[in-house]
Structure 1
Amino acid sequence: MSLTHAIAEQRVNLAVSLECAPAEFRTEILKTAVVAFGGTFVPAATGGRHGSHLAEVNLLGISHMGNSTEECTANWIKAVFRTAQDEVAA
């Protein structure tokens, strides 16, 4: 198995785990994966904090953002599944 295939497999496994996890645990799972795999996670600025109003995640070669951490995570999951479909079709 090539490195590219191993990364793609890990992305799908993580996306499935996130999708199946209760909503209240998704952010912690995502943060743990970011630390484990060397990605980035930037939560949306809330409560008068300075910063972007968007949450952002870059993990295992897939980047996405959303208006909240929950939306960002859902968008990342969708992007992983779309990428996997595209890789199969190629």
Structure 2
Amino acid sequence: MKKRLGFDEAINYQTAGDIASALEKACPNGVDVYFDNVGGSISDAVLTLINKYARIPVCGAISSYNAKGAQDDMGPQVQTALIKSSALMKGFVVNEYQERF
């Protein structure tokens, strides 16, 4: 991804081990935009690194698609992180933008 697409950094969640440490190393200046289609522990770790006025478009949560109930889909309470950073988190479904295809 770095070489082919020009990204500054890339993390393979399957081989990274401690994802929180890998994210801290990859994002030493924090996170301004996080396109969330994963949810779960990866998103939990990213939320600890969001910068002031960060933007977080949320289009999926694949980590919880097989959850059996609400207790299986628990994560951090994001309100404090969003308030402290004045970040914007907005969910969307891709077909809401169908006219732009």
State whether TM-score is above 0.5: no
The structure whose Rg is larger is 2
Report the TM-score when normalising by structure 2: 0.27
